[in-house]
Amino acid sequence: MPSSNPAFGRGFQSATRSGQFGAAGSTYAPPAPHDPYAAPSPYARSTTRYLTMDDVVTKTGLTFLVTVVAAAAVWALPGTTGWALALPAVLVGLVLGLVIAFKMISNPAATLAYAAVEGVFLGAISEAFDMRWPGIVIQAVIGTLGVFAGMLVVYKTGAIRVTPKFTRWMIGALVGVLVLVLVNLIASFITPGGLGLRDGGPIAIIFSLVVIGVGALSLLLDFDMADEAIRRGAPAKFAWYIAFGLLVTVVWLYLEILRLLSYLRN
C-alpha cells in the first residue's frame, strides 16, 4: 500500500514486489540444475534475520534520541551562535533526505547522519522561537508527542483503517498542501503576505490546523507501512529506513505545531 511519506514511495513497493525483502532475496529466476543431495537441510537455521517490531521501535528510538541530543547541543552554544547553523543544516538535510528516500538507503550511518542534521536545524530554530515566545518549544514538543501517541492509538485500535481509498485521499491532500504552500510563496513576492497562509492571521491559523491534521493522518500510513514491511519479511536493517520516514513526518508535525503556537501567541 503506497504511503504519502517520501520515505515510503514506489521504491518500497517495487522492491517488496520483486522479492527483495522476501525469503528468496531476489527476483524469480528458473532454478539451475543442481545435485539434490548437495542442497542444505530444510532444518538448517536461516542466516537471514527478518524485521520485527522490536527492531522498528529500537531503531526509531535511537534515531529520535540522536535528533534530540544534536538539538540540545546547538541550543547550548553561547548566545545566538547556533542560529547560523540553521540554513546549512536545512540544505544538507534536504539533499541527504532526498538521497535516502529515493535510493532507499537503509543503514544506520545514513539515518543517524540525517537525524543529527535535523537536530542541528531544530535546535537553532527552536532557540529562536523560544527567545521570542518563552515556553513555546515545550508546548510544541508536548503537542507533537500527544499527536504521535494519539495516532498510534487510533491505528492500533483500528478506529481509522488504512485502505487504498484512504491512501489516495491522503496523497491528494498532501499534494494540495504542497501546491498551496508553493503558490503562497510565489504570491508573497508579488504582494505582502501572499495568500495569507503564513502571515499569522485567521486564514493562516486555519491552514496550519489543516496541515497538522494532514501530517497526523500521515502517521497512520507510516505505521501501516512498517507493519507491511514486517509482513513481507523485510530484513532487520530495513528498520533504519522506517525510522527515517517516521522522523521526517514527526519533524514536519513539530515545525507546524510550533508555527501554529506562534500565531496564537501573537
In whole angstroms, give the CA distance from residue 236 to residue 53.
10
Tell me the residue type at 240.
W
Grid cell, residue 196, equals 495569507
Residue pLDDT tens, the chain, 266 long: 444 454 555 445 544 444 444 444 444 444 445 444 444 444 445 557 888 999 999 999 999 999 999 999 999 998 888 888 999 999 999 999 999 998 888 889 999 999 999 999 999 999 999 999 999 999 999 999 999 999 999 999 989 999 999 999 999 999 999 999 999 889 888 888 788 888 888 999 999 999 999 999 999 999 998 999 999 888 999 999 999 999 999 999 999 999 999 999 87
Query: For every residue of 103-137, which 3-state class applies, written as one string?
Result: HCCCCHHHHHHHHHHHHHHHHHHHHHHHHHCCCHH
